Structures are given as structure tokens and as C-alpha cells.
């Protein structure tokens, strides 16, 4: 306190009185409910800094955010404004619910009935694992079509993340699967058993094990008492099991701070519910509720529009926002004849702002679905404009990445059957039967990976099997070496297989090299592996490093991945019904409301300039061989009430403002002409 006293005074001067109240509030439960850009995240970051300045040891603070990137950002914010010693904040436990679960479960593995070397399945592995179980149970061969593996995993995930019974979930969200209720139940039972036998966890298990550990009083006392303070950002997007975890963590100490905005809740498909936020004061009696209404992010004209957008929500708790940031132009609503013109318009505007001094990285193009930026990406490449794309990157699903991860997973956990099968079948002359026999052989030899050397492989497979056995032996003895060295050793064995197994080995080999570079940031294989699976690179640039041309790049992002962030200029593209709201999400009012909130999240990312674009004509691949197009309608959330606060622009026509054009035509002339046709 004494050491950082002056710094803290400086830091508190950066806040408005209500933010300050929240930052300096004592221990008890604290809920900050406030709209976009009101400084919720800043308040949370400053509270961390304040607590540290008060003498709370940083490692006794747990800061939960939606992405690791967000936690890193916040801890930087927590230190840079004032603190003289920024090494302190590095000791704070920061990250997502899943990453925190991973760390805690390694410590409490024994109590959880796990071995601490458990490995984590990503989503596609979990689907594949379910699929194996489904085939074993012969459900896939029934006359009526059994739900697909991804649907099965969705149902399973809803069941464990929410607190509803299977039947209720099926009835509401998957009525066509209701006839399979008993089979699904059996499938999930076997799936759980299989994972436990193999010492593997899927994403949901991380939360589930954490939750159940906390149901034991002694463990709740032990785990909860590791932290003096728990702080959670974006609380509106947590689900029931996450709120259950927080309750368990705070059974014996109620110092918890959560912040959220119900108007920005966009993850109901992951069972998130704003009930968590609304019920917080009931779950934590004595909660102090702080609300914030001043928006510091956006210029006033932008806020006028976004207030009207969210004004259409049927249910809303957070208040209308106001801003002191005067001036600037009204948001533009730009109608483009087609997608090509939309791309050109974005690029021209980006370059214009760039010329005015706004770097590319302070400008972002946002869209509802990852596929919506495809044509823009090609256009950007043609114009030689560097960009990073966030969200929708299926990095972990790339086959070669999975291959590499599988080698590491086996070294970590020899019981990991999925990983063994993947690696073994890369070898010449090895199919599922040989792979199965080899796996059983290793298990029979107490899971010693190098025991593969004594496995009698068919003649065609012997040479490569021997190579794999020696690799696995090396990796075992390298267990304490740096993970980058291990990746390099794997590369020696794997690259020739990659050349043979894939048609486009070049870029894939580059990825493997980049993974080796990424591995350099980690000290242990276990940590590298867990973080890779829990928090895979989110942008194309994360892996490849910054674009070589210069250090600046345009941001392309799905709306979901843009949560909590801000840019000077925001372009929302494909704001047409069918894309936004997505035609996958107009089934019921609840879904449409969520799309409205998504639109709101996208628009409230803008600080100074906001452009909303939509192509009138939309090309799509038809089922046949030819390309087809249809005519779109502007996104339904841009009602006359909203567009009254925007400037309507028609792209093409020299990018002229539609109102300006209208000024040149005397009012009523068109209507007169039409009437005169009938004279």
C-alpha cells in the first residue's frame, strides 16, 4: 500500500466516481451491470491493480475472462497506467474458465480420480470418440437414422453445461431426436466411461470435474481458499455450470466481482444464460450492485444509433447510454449492388482512413459468419493489404496439426487411444486392425510407449513401426526437455510421412515449423499441449507471425470474436437478412433476439466511424453446378427508427450520399410522374 500509494492515487483519478466506488469496494460480492463501452473491463482491471496495491498477493487473485488474450490485455492495463512494478500482475491467475480448470485439475487430479497426465480432447476428437462408441453400440446401423455425431455432442454438451434433464433438452431443442432418448442416454454413459478409462477429458469435462470437486466440502474449502478474490468479465455469457463453479469456489469467502451486460449476451448456443447475472444477488446475498451509464468509447452519433438498435430488444435491464464524445459523422448505411462492390467500398474507405492517419489495425471488418469474409480476403490480397482474421479458424481441425498434437498426447498419456490410432495409421501398411493390436500391446506393457519396439508388425509396416518406436522412446527420455526440442524430434520422423500422406505438403510443413516456434514460448510439454488445445491460435496471423510487409494489418473478425474489443473504424458487412440475422437462427423469437444483440455488439465496437454495408445481390453456390444469386433485404434490425439516425449511401454511383442525390430532385416529382401515368 505504502509503496504503491502514489501510483494508486493516479490510477483512481482515471475513473469516474461510480467506477472508483467499484474499484475500491471492500471484499463482499459485487456486481457491475452496465452497457457497452462504459468501462466495465477497465474497472475490473483497475480493481486487480488496486487489490495488489492493497497488499493482496497477486497469486491469490483469480481473473476469469473470455479468452486468454483478454486476460493478458487486462493484466497489462492493470499495471501500465500506474504501477511501477508490472511483474506483479504476471502472477495473477488469469484466463478462461477452461484454462483455470485445467490448472486446478492438474493439482487436484488425485481427488478427482484422474491421473495428472490426463490429455484433453478438442471438439472434433470428442465427436470422433462419441462416434466410436456409437458404432460399438451399433446405433449407426438402425433403420431410422440415428443423430449425427456432432448433434450427439451438442446434446451431451447442453446436458452437462445447463441444468436440465435430457428429455427437456430434446423436447425443446432437438425434438427429432426424442425417439432416441434411451439410446442417447446409453451412448453418453459409455462415452463417459471410455474417457475415464483412457484418462482423457473433453472440454465440458474440465468444467464438470471442477464443479464436482467443489461439491465436496473439504475440497471446496481447499480450492476456494487459494484465492482471496475472484473477478469475472463478460458474466452475461456464462452458463449454469460456470455459475455453479463460482458458488462452489466462494462457499467460505464471498469476495467475488462479476461484470456484464445483458444486452450483449451472445452465447446461448453454449447454454449461456443471463439468468446468472440477474440471479447473482440472490446467490450471493449482500451483493452490491453498481451500474454505469456513461459510454467512453463511441462518438455521440454512433451511440444514438446503437441505442436505437438495442431499444428493439423485448427484455432489457441495462440502461440507455450517453456519451460526452461530441462531433464526428453519423454512421453510414451503405447499400451495395453486389458483394464485389461491397468489398471495393470497404477497401476504398479503409485506405481513405489510412491516408488520414488511422492505421490499419485500428480498423476492423466484422461479420456474422467466418465464411462471409471470403471474397473480401481475396480482394485484400489483390490490393496487397495485410490482414489478420480472428474467429472461425479451424486450426485444430487441420489434419497435420492433429497429427503433430497426437504424438505429444501419446507421450503425455499412453492410454490416449484416439491419439494412438491417428499416429499408427499414418504408417505404411497399418490399418485399424494393426493399430488396435499395437495399442493393446502397449497397454499390456504397462503403457510404456517404447514397448512398441517388441510389437510384431506385418512385414510392410515393420520399418516405419521401428522408426515410431524409437521416436516414442526418445520422447519418453526427453520428457523434461523443452517442448520445442520435442516438436523438432517429432518433425524428423513425421515430415516424410506428411509428404506421403497429403497432397499439399508445402504449407502444412510450414505450419509444423510454426508450431515449433510457438512451442518455444513454453517450458513444459504438458503446458504447451494443454494451451494449444484450450486456446488455439485465433488468427491466421497468430501462427505465421506479423505480416512481412510491415507491422500494420487490417482486422477481420467474426462478431463473436470481437466481443469486448474496440476499433476507431468499424465496418459491419453482410448486414442483410439471411446473413444477419443468420437464416440458421430465425427459428424462434429468442434466437432472433440473440441476433439483435449480436448486431448491437458489432456496432458498439466502433469508436469514431461506423459503416454498415449490405449487398443487394448475393451470389451463392446452388446445389447444381452453376452459381446462382438472389436478392437480399437489408438486415431487419435497421428499422426506420434506426436508419433515421444514419446516412443512407448507395455504393457505386460515385459513392454519393442518397440524401444528397435526393436534394437535387424536387420533392414530390417522382410521385407526380407516377400519378400522371394514369391521367
Interface residues with Mg ion (CB under 5 A) are 40-41, 564
**Residue of 202, 204, 237, 261 that binds ligand ATP (CB under 6 A):** 261
* Greatest Cα-to-Cα distance within the chain, rounded to the nearest angstrom: 98
Decide if residue 42 touches ligand ATP (CB under 6 A): yes
Q: Give me the least distance between CB of 40 and Mg ion, in Å please.
A: 5
By beta-carbon proximity to Mg ion, the closer residue of 94 and 248 is 94
* Percentages of the chain per state (helix, strand, coil), in multiples of 5: 55, 15, 30
Interacting partner of 261 out of ligand ATP, Mg ion, none (Cβ under 5 to 8 A depending on kind):
ligand ATP
Q: Which is nearer to ligand ATP, 335 or 604 (CB)?
A: 604
Neighbours of 376 (CB within 10 A): 25
Write down the least CB distance from residue 259 to Mg ion, Å: 7
- Distances in Å between the Cα of 388 and the Cα atoms of 204, 400, 555 are 29, 22, 5
From the CB of 563, what's the least distance to ligand ATP, in Å?
7
Query: Residue 191 in contact with residue 129, Cβ under 8 Å?
Result: yes
Measuring CA to CA, which residue among 40, 35, 47, 42 is closest to residue 8? 47
With beta carbons less than 8 A apart as the criterion, state whether 233 and 67 touch. no
Q: Which three cell numbers stand for residue 143?
A: 433403420
Structure-block grid coordinates of residue 201: 477429458
Residue of the chain from 30, 31, 33, 40 that contacts ligand ATP (CB under 6 A): 40
Using CB under 6 A as the binding rule, whether residue 426 contacts ligand ATP is answered as no
Output the residue with the shortest Cβ distance to Mg ion.
41
**Cα of 223 vs its chain's centroid, Å:** 26
Residue 561 near residue 372 (C-beta atoms within 8 A) = no
Nearest distance, CB of residue 12 and ligand ATP, angstroms: 10
For Mg ion, the closer of residues 75 and 201 by Cβ is 75
Task: Pick the binder of ligand ATP from 4, 22, 31, 38 (CB under 6 A).
Answer: 38
Stretch that binds ligand ATP, among 12-20, 119-127, 153-161, 638-646 (CB under 6 A): 12-20
- Residue 41: CB minimum distance to Mg ion, A: 3
Nearer to Mg ion, 205 or 237 (CB): 237
**DSSP bridge partners of 260:** 33
First to last CA, the chain: 86
483 binding ligand ATP? (CB under 6 A): no
Kind and range of the H or E run holding 631 = strand 627-631
Binding mask 516-555 for ligand ATP (x = CB under 6 A): ----------------------------------------
Nearer to ligand ATP, 19 or 242 (CB): 19
CA dihedral 63, 66, 70, 75 (to 10 degrees): 0
**Residue in 139, 212, 296, 619 binding ligand ATP, rule: CB under 6 A:** 296
**Residue 368 contacts by C-beta under 8 Å, 6 or more apart in sequence?**
558, 559, 574, 579, 580, 581, 582, 598
Regarding 19 and contact with ligand ATP (CB under 6 A), the answer is yes
Q: How far apart are CA 173 and CA 162, in angstroms?
A: 13
Q: Which partner in ligand ATP, Mg ion, none is near 464 (CB below 5 to 8 A by kind)?
A: none
| Pattern 591-620, ligand ATP, x by CB under 6 A | -------------x----------------
Q: Least separation, in Å, of the C-beta of 553 and ligand ATP?
A: 20
201 and 126 in contact (C-beta within 8 Å)? no
Q: Which is nearer to Mg ion, 77 or 361 (CB)?
A: 77
Distance CA 89, CA 78 (A): 7
- Does 255 bind ligand ATP (CB under 6 A)? Our answer is no
Determine contact, residues 245/207, Cβ cutoff 8 Å: yes
Q: Are strands 256-260 and 61-64 parallel, antiparallel or unpaired?
A: unpaired
Window of 38-46, 120-128, 130-138, 620-628 that interacts with ligand ATP by CB under 6 A: 38-46
The neighbour count for residue 584, using CB atoms within 10 Å, is 11
Residue 18 interface partner, choices ligand ATP, Mg ion, none, CB cut-off 5-8 Å depending on type: none
Q: Does 564 bind ligand ATP (CB under 6 A)?
A: yes
Stretch that binds ligand ATP, among 8-16, 331-339, 367-375, 384-392 (CB under 6 A): 8-16
What is the binding site for ligand ATP (CB under 6 A)?
14-16, 19, 34, 36-42, 261, 264, 296-297, 564, 566, 604
Amino acid at each position: 500500500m505504502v509503496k504503491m500509494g502514489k501510483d494508486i492515487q493516479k490510477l483512481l483519478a482515471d475513473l469516474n466516481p461510480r467506477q472508483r466506488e467499484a474499484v475500491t469496494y471492500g471484499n463482499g460480492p459485487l456486481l457491475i451491470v452496465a452497457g457497452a463501452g462504459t468501462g466495465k473491463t477497465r474497472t475490473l482491471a483497475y480493481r486487480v491493480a488496486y487489490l495488489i496495491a492493497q497488499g493482496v498477493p497477486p497469486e491469490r487473485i483469480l481473473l476469469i475472462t473470455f479468452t486468454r488474450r483478454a486476460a493478458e490485455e487486462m493484466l497489462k492495463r492493470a499495471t501500465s497506467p500506474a504501477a511501477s512494478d508490472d511483474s506483479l500482475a504476471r502472477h495473477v491467475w488469469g484466463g478462461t474458465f477452461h484454462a483455470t480448470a485445467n490448472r486446478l485439475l492438474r493439482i487436484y487430479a488425485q481427488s478427482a480420480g484422474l491421473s495428472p497426465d490426463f490429455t484433453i480432447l478438442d471438439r472434433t476428437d470428442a465427436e470422433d470418440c462419441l462416434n466410436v462408441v456409437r458404432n460399438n453400440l451399433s446405433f449407426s446401423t438402425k433403420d431410422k437414422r440415428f443423430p449425427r455425431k456432432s448433434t450427439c455432442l451438442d446434446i451431451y454438451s447442453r446436458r452437462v453445461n445447463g441444468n436440465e434433464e435430457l428429455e427437456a433438452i430434446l423436447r425443446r431443442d432437438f425434438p427429432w431426436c426424442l425417439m432416441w432418448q434411451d439410446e442417447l442416454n446409453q451412448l453418453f454413459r459409455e462415452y463417459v466411461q471410455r474417457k475415464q478409462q483412457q484418462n482423457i477429458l473433453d472440454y465440458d469435462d474440465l468444467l464438470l470435474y471442477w464443479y464436482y470437486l467443489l461439491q465436496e466440502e473439504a475440497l471446496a474449502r481447499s480450492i476456494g481458499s487459494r484465492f482471496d478474490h475472484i473477478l469475472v468479465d463478460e458474466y452475461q455469457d456464462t452458463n449454469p455450470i460456470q455459475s455453479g463453479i463460482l458458488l462452489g469456489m466462494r462457499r467460505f469467502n464471498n469476495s467475488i466481482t462479476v461484470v456484464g451486460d445483458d444486452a450483449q449476451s451472445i452465447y446461448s448456443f453454449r447454454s449461456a444464460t443471463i439468468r446468472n447475472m440477474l440471479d447473482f444477488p440472490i446467490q450471493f446475498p449482500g451483493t452490491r450492485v453498481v451500474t454505469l451509464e456513461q459510454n467512453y468509447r463511441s462518438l455521440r452519433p454512433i451511440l444514438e444509433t446503437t441505442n436505437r438498435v438495442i431499444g428493439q430488444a423485448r427484455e432489457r435491464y441495462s440502461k440507455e447510454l450517453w456519451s460526452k464524445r461530441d462531433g464526428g459523422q453519423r454512421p453510414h448505411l451503405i447499400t451495395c449492388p453486389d458483394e464485389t462492390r461491397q468489398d471495393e467500398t470497404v477497401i476504398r474507405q479503409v485506405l481513405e482512413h489510412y491516408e488520414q492517419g488511422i492505421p490499419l489495425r485500428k480498423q476492423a471488418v466484422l461479420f456474422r459468419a467466418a465464411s462471409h469474409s471470403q471474397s473480401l480476403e481475396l480482394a485484400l490480397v489483390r490490393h496487397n493489404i495485410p490482414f489478420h482474421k480472428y474467429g472461425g479458424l479451424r486450426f485444430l481441425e487441420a489434419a497435420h496439426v492433429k497429427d503433430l498434437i497426437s504424438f505429444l498426447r501419446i507421450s503425455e498419456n499412453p492410454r490416449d487411444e484416439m491419439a494412438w490410432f491417428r499416429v499408427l495409421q499414418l504408417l505404411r501398411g497399418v490399418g485399424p486392425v494393426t493399430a488396435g493390436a499395437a495399442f493393446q500391446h502397449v497397454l499390456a506393457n504397462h503403457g510404456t510407449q517404447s514397448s512398441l519396439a517388441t510389437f510384431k508388425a506385418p512385414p510392410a509396416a515393420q520399418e516405419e513401426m521401428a522408426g515410431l518406436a524409437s521416436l516414442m522412446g526418445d520422447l519418453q527420455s526427453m520428457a523434461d526437455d523443452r517442448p520445442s526440442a520435442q516438436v523438432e524430434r517429432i518433425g524428423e520422423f513425421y515430415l516424410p510421412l506428411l509428404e506421403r500422406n497429403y497432397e499439399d505438403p508445402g504449407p502444412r510443413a510450414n505450419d509444423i515449423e510454426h508450431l515449433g516456434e510457438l512451442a518455444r514460448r513454453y517450458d513444459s510439454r504438458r503446458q504447451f499441449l494443454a494451451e494449444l488445445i484450450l486456446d488455439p491460435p485465433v488468427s491466421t496471423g497468430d501462427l505465421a507471425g506479423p505480416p512481412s510487409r510491415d507491422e500494420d494489418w487490417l482486422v477481420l473478425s467474426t462478431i463473436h470474436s470481437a466481443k469486448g474489443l474496440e476499433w476507431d473504424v468499424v465496418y459491419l458487412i453482410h448486414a442483410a437478412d439471411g446473413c444477419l440475422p443468420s437464416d440458421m437462427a430465425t427459428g424462434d423469437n429468442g434466437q432472433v433476439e440473440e441476433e439483435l444483440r449480436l448486431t448491437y455488439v458489432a456496432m458498439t465496437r466502433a469508436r469514431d466511424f461506423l459503416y454498415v454495408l449490405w449487398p443487394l445481390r448475393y451470389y451463392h453456390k446452388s446445389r447444381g453446378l452453376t452459381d446462382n444469386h438472389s436478392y437480399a433485404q437489408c438486415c431487419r434490425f435497421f428499422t426506420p427508427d434506426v436508419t433515421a439516425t444514419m446516412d443512407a449511401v448507395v455504393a457505386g454511383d460515385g459513392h454519393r450520399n442518397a440524401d444528397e442525390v435526393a436534394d437535387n430532385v424536387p420533392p414530390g416529382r417522382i410521385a407526380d410522374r407516377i400519378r400522371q401515368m394514369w391521367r
